[in-house]
């Protein structure tokens, strides 16, 4: 028996709130909606607010204030997406019909608009504590608190000393991303949901070391069956088995020539011995002067890049098992067709979810962005 509700039973509603206080401003109709959320990058929401009359246009003008308005998308009584309205585009056609197209980004996009206001030094801090203190720093500034909350779990990875200079004018989002890409790093996102006790809308920092995981057991997806389409690209253009990172100069004497600090080459020697050609990669790390840190970043990049990038996608029919809490969970993909006829079932982690609500006779579908189960987690 299918767990999926009938299209007529699926109700999405867009709430527009004050970003700093989360005070509800209005609930407006939203059509042509698409939204997504990911581990490792900001998610987005796109949609259109129709304006059939002047009264609704006045309401929309009051509610849709880019950079100041929070957008929450409800599916039934549950929160399925939350973020910040960044752009609006009002337009009218030759028949006099009006509408406003909107684009919003998940709440982590806010930290891409915030910089350190003073030098920050962390001594003997767990990497999760550093992330939380950076967010506290952002939210403690006048006008900076948008209500991001967190819990107190630890990663077990402690840095003896980490320093960020104010003069570097680095964005807080960039700092957190760079810290997470260190060897033995972490993943993070802002998880949005409704508190089951208070009913309040929640923006909760979610951290995972080395990765975010969700759900205790795997979800099985079949083709033929729930899987409508799939794409399994393998891309060696970004592959590398030798990595060098370049940072800023460690020379503080402006009178003498300066050279950027470089990591030692980090090489996956097993690949070369196995017959792979040498494939090299380099990247710049702004604000990093410590060679030890650059070596650590180079090893982390090498671990990620020494095989072709493989980012599977599947589009599925929605059912009661699929919701935003699926991000970080594991699935078993069972495909039976000419390409996969003799291939074993594959296990992946969900790192992204893109949902298209039902509209104009089209069923509600979800696209899952997947990652190979490189850690081989026990699914029992």
CB 349 within 8 A of CB 330: yes
CB 68 within 8 A of CB 19: yes
> How far is residue 34's CA from residue 357's CA, in Å, rounded to a whole number?
7
> How far is residue 239's CA from residue 242's CA, in Å, rounded to a whole number?
9
> How far is residue 353's CA from residue 322's CA, in Å, rounded to a whole number?
9
pLDDT score recorded for residue 257: 72
pLDDT score recorded for residue 308: 84
Sign of the CA dihedral running 170, 176, 178, 182: positive
> How far is residue 243's CA from residue 306's CA, in Å, rounded to a whole number?
9
Which parts of the chain sit beneath pLDDT 70?
A: 1-9, 252-256, 341-344, 374-380
Q: How many CB atoms lie within 10 A of CB 308?
A: 13
Question: Using one digit for the tens of pLDDT, what is the confidence trace for 338-364?
Answer: 777 666 678 999 999 999 998 777 889
In angstroms, how far is the first alpha carbon of the chain from the final one? Answer: 25
């Amino acid at each position: 028996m299918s767990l999926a509700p009938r299209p007529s039973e699926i109700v999405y509603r867009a709430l527009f709130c004050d970003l700093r206080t989360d005070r509800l401003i209005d609930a407006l109709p939203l059509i042509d909606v698409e939204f997504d959320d990911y581990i490792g990058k900001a998610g987005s929401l796109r949609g259109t607010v129709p304006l059939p009359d002047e009264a609704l246009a006045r309401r929309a003008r009051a509610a849709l204030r880019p950079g100041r308005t929070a957008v929450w998308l409800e599916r039934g009584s549950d929160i399925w997406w939350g973020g910040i309205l960044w752009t609006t585009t009002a337009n009218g056609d030759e028949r006099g019909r009006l509408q406003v197209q909107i684009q919003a980004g998940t709440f982590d996009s806010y930290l891409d608009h915030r910089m350190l206001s003073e030098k920050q030094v962390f001594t003997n801090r767990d990497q999760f504590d550093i992330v939380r203190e950076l967010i506290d720093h952002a939210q403690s500034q006048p006008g900076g608190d948008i209500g991001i909350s967190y819990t107190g779990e630890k990663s077990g990875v402690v840095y003896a000393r980490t320093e960020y200079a104010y003069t570097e004018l680095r964005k807080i989002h960039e700092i957190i991303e760079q810290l997470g890409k260190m060897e033995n790093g972490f993943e993070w996102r802002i998880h949005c949901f409704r508190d089951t006790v208070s009913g309040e809308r929640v923006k909760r920092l979610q951290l995972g070391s080395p990765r975010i995981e969700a759900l205790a057991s795997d979800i099985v997806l079949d083709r033929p069956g729930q899987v409508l389409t799939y794409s399994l690209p393998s891309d060696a253009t970004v592959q590398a088995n030798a990595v060098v990172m370049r940072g800023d100069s460690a020379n503080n004497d402006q009178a003498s020539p300066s050279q950027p600090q470089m990591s030692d080459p980090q090489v996956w020697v097993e690949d070369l011995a196995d017959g792979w050609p040498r494939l090299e990669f380099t990247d710049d790390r702004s604000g990093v002067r410590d060679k030890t840190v650059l070596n650590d970043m180079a090893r982390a990049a090498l671990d990620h890049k020494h095989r072709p990038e493989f980012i599977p996608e599947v589009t599925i029919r929605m059912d009661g098992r699929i919701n935003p809490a699926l991000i970080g969970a594991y699935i078993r993909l069972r495909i039976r067709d000419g390409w996969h006829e003799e291939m074993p079932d594959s296990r992946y982690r969900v790192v992204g979810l893109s949902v298209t609500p039902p509209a104009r006779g089209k069923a509600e579908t979800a696209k899952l962005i997947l990652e190979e189960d490189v850690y081989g987690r026990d699914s029992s």
